[in-house]
Structure 1
Amino acid sequence: MEAILLVGGQGTRLRPLTISTPKPLLPTAGVPFLAHQLARARDAGVERIVFATSYRAEMFEAAFGTRAQGVDLAYVSEARPLGTGGAIRNAAAALRCGADEPVLILNGDILSGHDVPAQVALHEKSGADVTLHLTEVDDPSRFGCVPTDADGRVTAFLEKTSRPVTNQINAGCYVFRRSAIDTIRKDEVVSVERETFPSLISSGRVVMGHVESAYWLDVGTPQAFVRGSCDLVLGRLASSAMPGEPGDRLTLNGAVVSPGAVVRGGTTVGRGAVVEAGATVLGSVLLDDSFVAEGATVRDSVLSRGARVGPGAILDGVILGDAAVVGPGNELRDGLRVWPGIELPATAVRFSTDA
């Protein structure tokens, strides 16, 4: 089976992490985020993946080459962003499968533990043009919802509403019949959610919903990115791509965690990173060559490459860009983002997004 992996977005919600690195390549539980998706795709029977690239397209092939995680890889770039549907249509030029064969579509910012082979089996059994993974959420009013009939056939794609008719939402993994991809307009900006799927439904084509409530997370925000990395380390979602066994923390080669430090909650400590004695790091991502000094506390945060946290400083839900420096005594909270290279001097002042 072949797949198309959508990785063209700029990841603006994750800045400053994505200024120099595309979102799907951000280190997540010790490896690029996509390594986890490639491993899951391989385990589901995918033999070849076409990357649909746009933003910093050259970095994907540099990272993975023509084969990774046991899967053959190809790359197709967009000259301009074409939306989800346009990206799928553009990348389909590199597919080799026949018109009636299934093509798996994966989004480059989704962590999911759902049963992909079961989704493919439903697609083939029902003779569908498209089969969508739908997940159930507690509060569907935050999302557009996707109702299905008694046979599992999708009946509509509905926008956000305070009175949703179902708790099923689009989870971003699709199985297309190869010929159905060719119904998408070529070289145009197209949204599968707003145009392709509603059009197929209204024309009487078969669009099925595979409903499953396994682990699912959109890692497009800083908070979700941290949570996803920690969940992988803790083993809440299994991944054969993770460079170590699940546990309270993942310490990569070359990292130094002093015996007197507390590091847990699924924290990853990157290569060359240092956590000094007396420091506490909980549920965070420390990228390569970052530094946490004695007495500092880092919680639910990301320290980018070379970022430094001074003695006694407190970070809670904070993103530090590459080589950013937080001096002793600072207290940073509430989603604050520090851009690359910025240095905050020693202080006792509290900084937050609402300050």
Structure 2
Amino acid sequence: MRPDRTTHLPESGVMREAIILAGGLGTRLRTVVSDVPKSLATVAGRPFLNWQLEQLADQGFSHVVLAVGYMHDKVMATYGDTFAGMAIHYAVEETALGTGGAIWQAARLVKGDVFFTLNGDTYFDLPADEMEAALQDQETDMAMAVCHVADCGRYGLVSIVDGRLAGFREKAPGQPGAVNAGAYLFRRSLMDRWTLPERFSIETDFLQPHLSDLSVAAVPVRGDFIDIGIPEDYAYSQKRIPELKTLRQYRNTDAASE
């Protein structure tokens, strides 16, 4: 059985819900961030998770489940039950469950039939509307955000055919390409289609072996993709993330005035 360290479900209905994987150890970041979990690393004077949560609030999310583990008490003390008008709940990993195990555990706290998931150490302009539009096709099982990066040395590439995820390829140092941004929109029904172990990776243990039985919409991300997992990118995030938020606000204002 999976660990049962979860809070109670929210009483009211929600329109948009997200799970954020915020339990990472942040090993590669320890030289510059050692007293808090990676999701609370300071970016432009504020915890990194603040930037993510504010983006979700701006996009109409009303409920977020934080999947926490390492130093989870600090995350819970920082955010409590609400943030920016959103209800916050927690799924605590007693032992590391991998990305898939953490999502499956946290999904117990989701009330709706579909839910987003994001990594708690990346920042980009989440294409929430486009991912939801992709799931209007009832033949589509899930949507995955993909982004174009200049150097695929840190990330494995994805193959996309006619807007669908067609496969995964090895890392290609120095080469540009499309990569998995780590953000998904799931149908809850997927959780009942396969028997999976308590600990598993969403990409290598779920997507890759079952891709032939899945229809996964690949939704492109607009603009930069920032992963704060290494010191160099963490330093870059200090200036760039506030800039990206400002750009998103301008775009939203322009769209609302059309």
Question: TM range, normalised to the smaller chain?
Answer: 0.7 to 0.9
Q: Which residue of structure 1 lines up, in the alignment, with residue 202 of structure 2?
A: 192
Task: Name the structure, 1 or 2, with higher relative contact order (CA <8 Å, separation 6+).
Answer: 2
DSSP-derived class of the 2:158 partner = coil
Q: Which residue of structure 1 lines up, in the alignment, with residue 3 of structure 2?
A: none
TM-score, structure 2 normalization: 0.83
Could you say which structure has the larger radius of gyration?
A: 1
DSSP-derived class of the 1:92 partner = helix
Instruction: Give the counterpart letter for 2:108 in structure 1.
Output: A
Return closer, same or farther for 1:19/1:186 CA change in 2, 3 Å cut-off. Answer: farther
- What is the alpha-carbon distance in structure 1 between the residues aligned to residue 167 and residue 248 of structure 2? 36
Count of residues paired in the alignment: 234
User: For residues 206-255 of structure 1, what are the alpha-carbon distances to aligned partners after superposition, in whole Å with 9 as ceiling and x for unaligned?
Assistant: 1110023422111111111111121134x2443899xxxxxxxxxxxxxx
- What is the alpha-carbon distance in structure 1 between the residues aligned to residue 154 and residue 33 of structure 2? 25
Return closer, same or farther for 1:177/1:95 CA change in 2, 3 Å cut-off. Answer: same
The reply on whether 1:168 has 2:183 as its aligned counterpart is no
TM-score, structure 1 normalization: 0.61
DSSP-derived class of the 2:105 partner = helix
- How far the C-alpha of 1:18 sits from its partner, in A, is 3.5
- How far the C-alpha of 1:94 sits from its partner, in A, is 1.4
The answer to whether the 8 Å contact 1:39/1:240 transfers is: no
Q: Which residue of structure 1 lines up, in the alignment, with residue 10 of structure 2?
A: none
Q: Which moved more, 1:70-79 or 1:175-184?
A: 175-184
Q: Which residue of structure 2 lines up, in the alignment, with residue 155 of structure 1?
A: 166
Q: Which residue of structure 2 lines up, in the alignment, with residue 215 of structure 1?
A: 224
Q: Which residue of structure 2 lines up, in the alignment, with residue 238 of structure 1?
A: 246
Instruction: Give the counterpart letter for 2:226 in structure 1.
Output: L
- What is the alpha-carbon distance in structure 2 between the residues aligned to residue 8 and residue 53 of structure 1? 4
- How far the C-alpha of 1:86 sits from its partner, in A, is 0.6
Q: Which residue of structure 1 lines up, in the alignment, with residue 215 of structure 2?
A: 206
- What is the alpha-carbon distance in structure 2 between the residues aligned to residue 27 and residue 137 of structure 1? 24
The reply on whether 1:133 has 2:145 as its aligned counterpart is yes
Return closer, same or farther for 1:160/1:240 CA change in 2, 3 Å cut-off. Answer: closer
- How far the C-alpha of 1:90 sits from its partner, in A, is 1.1
- Select the residue among 15, 19, 35 that pairs with 1:20: 35
Return closer, same or farther for 1:27/1:12 CA change in 2, 3 Å cut-off. Answer: same
The answer to whether the 8 Å contact 2:124/2:223 transfers is: yes
Task: Map 1:247-266 onto structure 2 (within 5 A).
Answer: none
The answer to whether the 8 Å contact 1:86/1:184 transfers is: no
Q: Which residue of structure 1 lines up, in the alignment, with residue 118 of structure 2?
A: 106
Task: Map 1:55-66 onto structure 2 (within 5 A).
Answer: 55-66=70-81
User: What residue ranges of structure 2 are gaps of 5+ in the alignment?
Assistant: 1-15, 250-258
Measured on the aligned residues, the alpha-carbon RMSD in Å equals: 2.4
Return closer, same or farther for 1:162/1:73 CA change in 2, 3 Å cut-off. Answer: closer
DSSP-derived class of the 2:218 partner = strand
- What is the alpha-carbon distance in structure 1 between the residues aligned to residue 177 and residue 92 of structure 2? 35
Instruction: Give the counterpart letter for 1:170 in structure 2.
Output: N
User: What residue ranges of structure 1 are gaps of 5+ in the alignment?
Assistant: 242-355
- How far the C-alpha of 1:76 sits from its partner, in A, is 0.8
User: For residues 276-321 of structure 1, what are the alpha-carbon distances to aligned partners after superposition, in whole Å with 9 as ceiling and x for unaligned?
Assistant: xxxxxxxxxxxxxxxxxxxxxxxxxxxxxxxxxxxxxxxxxxxxxx
